[in-house]
Structure 1
Amino acid sequence: MLRCRLALHCIISLMVLLGDSLPAGAQQTAVFGPISAESLTGVLREVTVPSGNPGIGDVISVLTGLEVATAPLGSPSGGFVYSYDEGVGAPLRRSGTFGPQFVERALTTGRGTTSFGLNVFNATYDTLSDYPLNNLRVATFRGPQPVISSSTLNLRLRSMTAALFGSVGVTDNFDVAVAVPIIRVGVNARMVQEEPGVGTAVLLSDGFSTGLGDVAVVGKYRFWRNRDERSGLAALVTLRMPTGNEDDLRGIGAWRTMVGLAASAELGRLAVHANGGYEFWSESVTLSNNQPGPFDEVWGLADQVQYGGAVEVEVRPTLTFTVEAMGRLVRDSGRLDTVSFNTQFSPELGVDGVDLLQVTSGHLRKFVLVPGVKWNLGGNRLLSFGLRMAQADTGLRDTLTPLVGFNWTL
């Protein structure tokens, strides 16, 4: 921390010594960069190291990768549900609705029924633990004056996910699906370091990456159904493989297995669904403030609780309206907060305290609402629209995330 403070002081002082070569009015402001890095984690690390809070870049990287990798991809199930009717001698459609966008329904698609789909999300993140990303005060050094230097990070984080789905009914009661996310993550970072009476330094860095996220394999077994097969209970198992690159914020580097239950009930034009499950991680994800000695704390992020519910209304035979509510909880994940240290770090520089943006104890909680529609384009083709609306979020948050999807059942 002291080394970073000295580096910051030297950078700004050197900038001022060179001020005579700069245009009038700009002598106390210098821009450095963009700083190059081999990965998006490197982008965030390099731009924040001189701030006096060197661990904050890695913290933001971990929390960003966690959000991108654990965000729901959407239900991979086909929109049309069939079962073989022995009296008719042919498969018949059993549900009048097309299924929720995210919450899994207990109904299975039917033996031999195959479907393919695509969901596209576009997220531009607004806050991190309720701190605005465009004004993250990561470090403030205090002394005889209230503020003798400060470092503020202006950050733009965005991701676009295209999730490709394939699903097949192995039997009338057992479906298997695969989801392959292709993710593009972009980072634009601007660190503004100010020392009143001395000058301002601006450090720039940016980058983007495109590639695989964590691929999912989903199994659903319906173990109970009512007589007309429009209501039921099912067991869910989802395996997420660590195919996403951790350093480029597209994965978390752990095998994840979610075990859960799904319940569905239909009455006329109305359908209700509920899900719940627990996701086991093969290894924890380390989160550290990266501070020396007693100032450091380390968290091991591991396992996740998931739950959700959905209501569908068949507006007309070709149109279904849905409202969904979903929540997630990552245990022992910590959250960001400003922590004050009043120890006399550096008397020669007049520093007797510092306020740092740090990870503190807590859980990562998320809760969203998703209104949406599914429209039958003709045949067994569906077009869907939705809007993921964040209601409560102690991690990386995008207030409104639009969704466009397509599903084709063969």
Structure 2
Amino acid sequence: MANPYSNFTKMVILAYLSILPTQSMARDLNEIIPSLYGGDGVTLEDNPFFSHSAHFAQDSLENLQELAETLSDFSQPSLSSIVGLTFEFDPILDEFVQTTSTQSLGSSLTERPQTGGKGVLTFGIAYGHTKFSELDGRDLDNLTVDLGHVDTGPNALTCLAPGFPNPPPADCYRFIDDVVRLTLNLDITQQFISLSTNYGLTENLDVGFHLPILHTEVSVSSVGSIVNDPSIVFSPIGGNGSVHNFDPVNEDSPFSSASGSHTGLGDLFIHAKHHFYHSEKLNLGSFFQVRLPTGDEDNLQGIEDVGGKAMLLADAIFPLNKGTLTPYLNVGIEMNTSNSGQEKLAYNLGLEYDVISGKHHTSVAIDFMGRNTITNKNDSCNEKYDLGLGIKYALTERGSVYANIILPVNDSGLRPDVTYLFGVNWTK
């Protein structure tokens, strides 16, 4: 597994290169898998007596295209709009100071109701690394796709016996039940640098955005094999008895591979947050986000049309030993207006513990993140659950650094073993 620390420098360079005008003849990443075996489907040996060369081509085209569409259903981790301390303007000191209420640094993955403060500007940069390893619980390095024989005409021979009688006897070789099995080894990796900012319009209203710069790599290799129907023992044909064979010289080899990568801007996220209720213990807020399709959908770096999110935010603060314990909740709806989009129930549950010792402020957090499909316009996964573990440290009163890992809880859809996330936030 690639070291995420060593990849950071590479991503900074790629981020710069991504904003330069480029021209490339390489295929889009969503075409990598369908391009296997020449892009026209699996073509077998052209037997002059029983030609079955193209009888699996259509099914291979459909299956590989469907697999490519399934694998395109992934996105980067959702980052909270502000992670750090909150401020208010002190007219006597003529500067922004920390609010006097109990402070928490906030989760990097879940929104908190509190806003930054009127006139407070916060910047952030985060780096993430994800290497996908499973699709619906199946390992990507040993993924099998079975291709079925094309349907034959009403009078076509579907079973062979000695003498080739038509209709054949019961004991015959049902070649129509043969299968071409593709064993795929897929490698899908995505790295991103996310640039963000947040500004307090009022004491209780923040606006901001974040924009990821993405580097996505896809590679696939395939080994094809013929899985003959057990009735091949009745085949009247010499050799291995099969009418289906690969022909590396004249047609397709059983081995095929393709790869590609793309660096570019992802979708732009614009948000607003309103902190509408606060007391000594409880805080409530609302969060609205619009996702603009600035990323390249064909290169797995964006969605087709506008998306959005509306969330209710809540947290409560309890003193505990030398720190504070903060449980929090986000619940709402995520929307995607494209033809293949979904509406999802989105919710985050979390717990944060902050410890302040002198000038040192450290927090640890655990987040449970769920996404359940409400309406589904395609066959993508219906539910995803993740667990986030994070630590944050306040470098100064105005800056903090954080690190998170995100672990999948279930195996629905395209999933990694772990996602790494590192970031810095600074308040001006």
TM over 0.5: yes
Alignment correspondent of 2:158: none
TM-score by length of structure 2 reads 0.71
Per-residue deviation, 1:280? 2.5
- Counterpart of 2:331 (choices 276, 282, 287) is 276
Alignment correspondent of 1:33: none
TM-score by length of structure 1 reads 0.74
Per-residue deviation, 1:149? 3.0
Alignment correspondent of 1:327: 370
Per-residue deviation, 1:137? 1.1
Alignment of 1:33-182 (within 5 A): 37-47=26-36, 50-51=41-42, 52-68=59-75, 71-84=76-89, 91-93=97-99, 94-141=101-148, 144=174, 149-182=180-213
Alignment correspondent of 2:274: 221
How large is the RMSD of aligned CA atoms in angstroms? 2.5
User: Aligned partners of 1:393, 1:306: CA distance in 2, in Å?
Assistant: 17
Preserved CA contact (<8 Å) 2:221 2:258: yes
Preserved CA contact (<8 Å) 1:180 1:216: yes
Alignment correspondent of 1:9: none
Q: Quick one: structure 1 residues 135 and 331, their matched pair in 2 at CA, closer, same or farther if it must change by over 3 Å? A: farther
Q: Which amino acid aligns with 1:313?
A: Y
Preserved CA contact (<8 Å) 2:343 2:375: no
Per-residue deviation, 1:148? 5.1
Per-residue deviation, 1:333? 4.3
Preserved CA contact (<8 Å) 1:117 1:166: yes
Kindly indicate whether residue 309 of structure 2 is the aligned counterpart of residue 258 of structure 1: yes
Per-residue deviation, 1:370? 0.6
User: Aligned partners of 1:149, 1:57: CA distance in 2, in Å?
Assistant: 13
User: Aligned partners of 1:311, 1:140: CA distance in 2, in Å?
Assistant: 48
User: Aligned partners of 2:182, 2:370: CA distance in 1, in Å?
Assistant: 34
- Counterpart of 2:345 (choices 284, 301, 305) is 305
Per-residue deviation, 1:176? 0.6
Matched position secondary structure for 2:257: strand
* Structure 1 residues not aligned, in runs of 5+: 1-35, 286-300, 336-358
Per-residue deviation, 1:216? 0.2
* Structure 2 residues not aligned, in runs of 5+: 1-24, 43-58, 150-172, 228-239, 247-252
Alignment correspondent of 1:3: none
Kindly indicate whether residue 208 of structure 2 is the aligned counterpart of residue 208 of structure 1: no
Q: Quick one: structure 1 residues 264 and 148, their matched pair in 2 at CA, closer, same or farther if it must change by over 3 Å? A: closer
Alignment correspondent of 1:186: 217
Alignment correspondent of 2:406: 388
User: Aligned partners of 1:99, 1:144: CA distance in 2, in Å?
Assistant: 64
User: Aligned partners of 1:148, 1:174: CA distance in 2, in Å?
Assistant: 61
Q: Which amino acid aligns with 1:43?
A: I
User: Aligned partners of 1:56, 1:183: CA distance in 2, in Å?
Assistant: 28
Q: Which amino acid aligns with 1:403?
A: L
User: Aligned partners of 1:171, 1:99: CA distance in 2, in Å?
Assistant: 20
User: Aligned partners of 1:283, 1:385: CA distance in 2, in Å?
Assistant: 33
Alignment correspondent of 2:354: 314
Matched position secondary structure for 2:181: strand
Identity %: 24
User: Aligned partners of 1:363, 1:66: CA distance in 2, in Å?
Assistant: 9
* Structure that is richer in strand per residue: 1
Q: Please tell me whether Structure 1 or Structure 2 has the larger radius of gyration of its CA atoms.
A: 2
Per-residue deviation, 1:378? 2.7
Q: Quick one: structure 1 residues 56 and 252, their matched pair in 2 at CA, closer, same or farther if it must change by over 3 Å? A: farther
User: Aligned partners of 2:220, 2:197: CA distance in 1, in Å?
Assistant: 37
